[in-house]
Amino acid sequence: AVIDMENMDDTSGSSFEDMGEMHQRMKEEEEEEAEGEAGAGEEEDGEFLGMKGLRGQLGRQVADQMWQVGKRQASRAFSLYANIDILRPYFDVEPVQVRARLLESMIPVKMINFPQKIAGELYGPLMLVFTLVAILLHGMKTSDTIIREGTLMGTAIGTCFGYWLGVSSFMYFLAYLCNAQITMVQMLSLLGYGLFGHCITLFVTYNIHFHSLFYIFWLVVGGLSTLRMVAVLVSRTVGHTQRLILCGTLAALHMLFLLYLHFAYHKVVEGILDTLEGPNMPPFQRVARDIPVVSNAVLNTTAKAIALTL
C-alpha cells in the first residue's frame, strides 16, 4: 500500500509538472504570436511612412521649383523696372519747358566762344516725330495721291523715325571725328527739336497749295531751325574745317529732307505701292462697245460653216 501511494504520488507529481510545462509553452506561443503581429504592424507602418516620406519629398521639390520660377519672374520684372527707371530722366519734363524749347528751336543764338546748352531730354523730340507722322498722313489724304491699304502709317513712321535716328547717329559719328563736344542723347534732342520747323512748314503748305508759299516757309521757318542747330554745333566744335564739315552736312540733310517730304514723298510712296500691289487699275465696268469689222467677218464665216455642215 505504501508502494502504491508512493507510485501515485510520483504519477501525480509528474502529471502536475506536465500540466505546468504545457501551460508555459502555451504562454510562450501566445507571446511569439503577439510579437509576430507587432512586427508585421511595424513593417506596415514603415511602408506607410515610406510612402509619406516620398510624397513629402515630391511636395518639397514642387514647392522649391515654384519658388525658383516666382523668383526668376520677380527678378525679370525688377530688371525691367530698373531699365525703365534708367530712361525716366530723359522723359521727366514739364509742358512749360517743352513749349519754351520749341520756341528756342526757332531762334538762332550767336554764341561761339562758349558751348551752348542742349536739353538732354527726348520727350519733346519724340512727340515732334509723331506729329510729323500725323502731318504726312494728313497730307496724303488732302493731296491727289490715291491711298490704298489704309493710311500707310507704317511708311510714314519708318520715314520719320528713320531720318531722326539715322541722321542723328551719322551726325554723332561725324561729330566724334570732328572732336565736337556733344553726346548721342543731345544730338537726338537737337535734331528732334529741329523738326519743329518742318512740322510748321508741311502743315501750312499741305492745306494751302502754293509753291511760292512753300519756298518762303522753307527758307524762313526751315532756315531758322537749321541755323539754330548750326549755331549750337559751331559753339561746340573747335576748328574752322571741322565746323564747316559738320554744320554743312547737317544743314544740307535737314533742308533737303524738307524738300523731299513736300515734293517727292507721296510720289515715292505711290510708286512703292504700284510695285508691290500692281498698278492702280480702275474697277471693272460693263460698257457697251462697238464690235470691230474683223470680229463681224469672223462671226459671219463661222455661221456659214455651221450652216453648210448642217
pLDDT at residue number 31: 65
pLDDT for 53 beyond 90: no
Measured between alpha carbons, how far is residue 1 from residues 6, 8, 12, 181 in Å? 9, 10, 16, 145
pLDDT category at 66 given cuts 50, 70, 90 is confident
Alpha helices in the chain (DSSP H): 2-91, 95-104, 123-142, 153-177, 184-207, 211-235, 240-259, 265-277, 293-309
Count of Cβ atoms closer than 10 Å to residue 192 Cβ: 25
pLDDT class of 111 with cuts at 50, 70, 90: confident
CA distance 51 to 296: 98
Residue with the larger pLDDT of the pair 60 and 299 = 60
Taking the alpha carbons at both ends of the chain, their separation in whole angstroms is 160
pLDDT number for residue 117: 87
Q: Are 109 and 228 in contact (CB under 8 A)?
A: yes
Q: Which three cell numbers stand for residue 5?
A: 501511494
Q: Is the pLDDT of residue 172 over 70?
A: yes
pLDDT, the chain, mean: 76
pTM of the model: 0.62
Percentage with pLDDT > 90 across the chain: 36
Confidence (pLDDT) at 88: 80
pLDDT at residue 282 greater than cutoff 50: no
- Pick the more confident residue, 190 or 62: 190
Residue 56 corresponds to which cell in the numbers above? 513629402
Integer Cα distance of 220 and 29 in angstroms:
120
Say how many C-beta atoms besides its own lie within 10 A of residue 184's C-beta: 14
Give the Å distances, CA to CA, from 155 to 108, 164, 167, 270: 32, 14, 17, 11
| Cβ atoms of residues 219 and 151 within 8 Å | no
C-alpha cell read off for 139? 497730307
Residue, of 60 and 168, whose pLDDT is higher: 168
